[in-house]
A and B are shown apart, each in its own frame.
Chain A
Amino acid sequence: MNLHEHKIMIVDDEPALRRMVREFLQEEGFGQVVTAGSCREAEQVFRREHPHLILLDVMLPDGDGFMLLQKLHTESEVPVIFLSARDEDENRLRGLGLGADDYVTKPFLPRELLLRVGAVLKRVYRIRDNADEKKVIQLGDCVADLRSGVIRRKNRPECGEKKEREPEAGKESGRENSPEEVQTTEVTLTAKEYAILEKLAANRGQIVTIDALCEAVWQDGSYGYENTLIVHIRRLREKLEQDASRPKHLLTVRGLGYKLV
């Protein structure tokens, strides 16, 4: 099932908010949106429509969303995003482990809500994204392919590395007037380098702190790997950059972390 074919139910006692969220969802492409203004109505709509995701307000005129969630979860494991209007709810949502998939505090930006809706649907219903495309990163004359964990560079042959001759991109499109072939060097990423590059690529253009990189690589919530990280970064630069001592893509943000541009 396509992402936008999923049915979404909005439960909120404020008609203007229901209407607004429905409009945004429909503009985004979600064709099936149903609404309810109370716990009772929500139960009826839920049994009739069988939605794939519920946007649930915490405070409803005839009960609270937490109780309704528990009741609905006895019938189905439908994912729920809470719409909360109180800071205190955040504590409850975080502390009690009610089984909500996410929560948004009012007021919220529509883009933020839509992103969360998409993320929950993709996660719960395992919808394949165009993630594969995102796993191929073009960095100047270098291509990092995270699917296979290799970096392909042009015109930099090195000893011991696999070399192959590839037709130039123009040749595939039928241009036969350029017989020139470009030498491509392929280097393999180590597991640590892969994890670092994957984290940086996921946040391309943004600073990734030393701590976030350590967490991504060593995954034990611990610190103290900064020096080891520097070594891995240097090796990664040697594979990615034309000149590792003057990096153009994997930049250092002094005292904070690194950025992939």
Chain B
Amino acid sequence: MGKRTVLKKSVTGIRIFSYSVFTFVMIAGLTLAVNITFFILLALQYHQVMPRYIKGEEVIEELTPTQDGYRLSDRMGSQLDEKGQWAMLLDETGRVVWSHGRPEEIGDSYTVSDIARMSRWYLEDYPVYMRVWEDSVMVVAIPRNSMWKYSIEFPISWIEYFKRIWYWMLLFDFLWILTLAVVFTRRWSKTREQARIEWIAGISHDTRTPLAVALGYADALESGGRLSGEERQKAAVIRHQCMVMKELIEDLNLTSRLEYSMQALRMEEVHPAAVLREVAAAFLDDAGEGTLEIEMDPDRQAEGIVLMADRQLLVRALRNLFHNSLRHSEQTDTTVIRLGLRDEKRFCRILFADNGIGYSDEMLRQLNGRKSRQPIQNIRGLGIVCRIVQAHGGQTVFGNGAQGGSFCEMRFRKRRKKVSYRDNTSLQHYTID
């Protein structure tokens, strides 16, 4: 078994163990929470469930000393009978001097130890309650198996300690429950996000094959010589629209994956000045004569910056900015695009500006992440620019130039990674974090 296999297995084992511990803690926490709720509910129900028994003091109030001994009111006597209770009065020697409904097995004389025992627990399995009345003791019993009695005691120091910490315990409970809630919510929401991404990916997958057929035939009709000029024009429109749909699908997929951080970034060393030149050159090649002018303005220091980034995504962001500028430029003039690169103390800034119609206030609000008062406008391509930069830990700022046109500033935080790798240049390597 190779080293890698062993490592892989142990990593898998740790992962399974972590999941098990997590599951255990979750179940224990949930059980505790359920129990606490149950006990709270039980306490709330206590008074409704607990039968109302007659206490010793109530009997004493209805007991009148007479010449023959004692006399209980008829009302109290019938109430005791009704509830299955009985009562007796012991004098200072422990002898029964009065009783009502006393069962036969209950004796008529009690020692001090008998009285001490029954005061805590039971008398012949009858739960009893005692009340001192002058020199006598009133004993009132309730039916057998109707009450559980146990004496509980705590050291005062413990009570004092509890008084000091009870609010911390409450706070801990609260935080624990909150954590559980957050964890469950996040898991639930992640499942939903995953389902949404998969749904979008599935739809786009299913759409691409029929689109490939439509695009293929439209292109063949357009470039073939069998159609008339007008028909060829129609085929060109179909081909163009297929390409638009292709871009839409790609954008939708990329947006959803970037939104939920599902897009794995292929980080590599990227020379932003070279990327800017590459994208600009491609657009300049494709543009018609005199329709596009590009002004490059990277500062000398920024020329040497090397970033750790996903090259393809950076190219995509720049392409989207170019597309947007070309689409929304004043048709009568040449589109002028200014590209800049700045090396600042903690940031590397890529500047993109054009001489187009600029952004509306509403678009700027949306692009710069402020709350919008109107429904989201169509900022798909520029939205992807924002998400790509954010995925690299950077920031975007969109705005309109003072002299007209619009600008976009992509700011990447840089972190020094290593020294230059060639002696004859002063390259600086940064990684986007």
A21: chain B residues at CB < 8 Å are 216
A261 CA to B217 CA, complexed, in Å: 34
A212 touches B278 (CB 8 A): yes
A211: chain B residues at CB < 8 Å are 271, 273-274, 277-278
Is A222 interfacial (CB 8 A cutoff)? yes
A224 touches B304 (CB 8 A): yes
A210 CA to B210 CA, complexed, in Å: 41
A17 CA to B217 CA, complexed, in Å: 10
A108 touches B284 (CB 8 A): no
Interface residues of A in 237-252 (CB under 8 A from B): none
Is A209 interfacial (CB 8 A cutoff)? yes
Is B91 interfacial (CB 8 A cutoff)? no
A210 touches B277 (CB 8 A): yes
A86: chain B residues at CB < 8 Å are 201, 204-205, 208
Is A140 interfacial (CB 8 A cutoff)? no
A104 (CB) vs chain B CBs: closest residue: B212
Is B418 interfacial (CB 8 A cutoff)? no
A159 CA to B205 CA, complexed, in Å: 66
Number of cross-chain contacts by CB at 8 Å: 113
B425 touches A224 (CB 8 A): yes
Is A100 interfacial (CB 8 A cutoff)? no
Is A125 interfacial (CB 8 A cutoff)? no
Interface residues of B in 200-254 (CB under 8 A from A): 201, 204-205, 208-217, 219-220, 223, 242, 246, 250, 253-254
Name the contact of A95 in the complex, choosing from B201, B204, B266, B273 (C-beta under 8 A): B266
B278 (CB) vs chain A CBs: closest residue: A209
A105: chain B residues at CB < 8 Å are 208
B250 touches A87 (CB 8 A): yes
B424: chain A residues at CB < 8 Å are 224
Number of interface residues of A (CB under 8 A): 38
The 8 closest A-B pairs by CB, nearest first: A255-B296, A224-B425, A107-B212, A211-B274, A207-B281, A106-B208, A85-B208, A107-B211
Interface residues of B in 373-408 (CB under 8 A from A): none
Name the contact of A110 in the complex, choosing from B201, B209, B216 (C-beta under 8 A): B216
A256 touches B212 (CB 8 A): no
A107 touches B215 (CB 8 A): yes
Name the contact of B277 in the complex, choosing from A88, A91, A256 (C-beta under 8 A): A256
Q: In the complex where A17-B209, A24-B216, A223-B271 touch, is A107 in contact with B304 (Cβ < 8 A)?
A: no
B339 (CB) vs chain A CBs: closest residue: A255
Is B427 interfacial (CB 8 A cutoff)? yes
Interface residues of B in 101-123 (CB under 8 A from A): none
Is A59 interfacial (CB 8 A cutoff)? yes
B271: chain A residues at CB < 8 Å are 211, 223
Is A190 interfacial (CB 8 A cutoff)? no
A210 CA to B274 CA, complexed, in Å: 8
Is A257 interfacial (CB 8 A cutoff)? yes
Is A94 interfacial (CB 8 A cutoff)? yes
8 A–B contacts from the bound complex (CB under 8 Å): A16-B213, A87-B201, A106-B209, A209-B277, A211-B274, A224-B422, A224-B426, A253-B284
Cβ distance A125 to chain B, nearest Cβ, rounded Å: 26
B211 touches A106 (CB 8 A): yes
Is A254 interfacial (CB 8 A cutoff)? yes
A87 touches B427 (CB 8 A): no
B205: chain A residues at CB < 8 Å are 59, 85-86
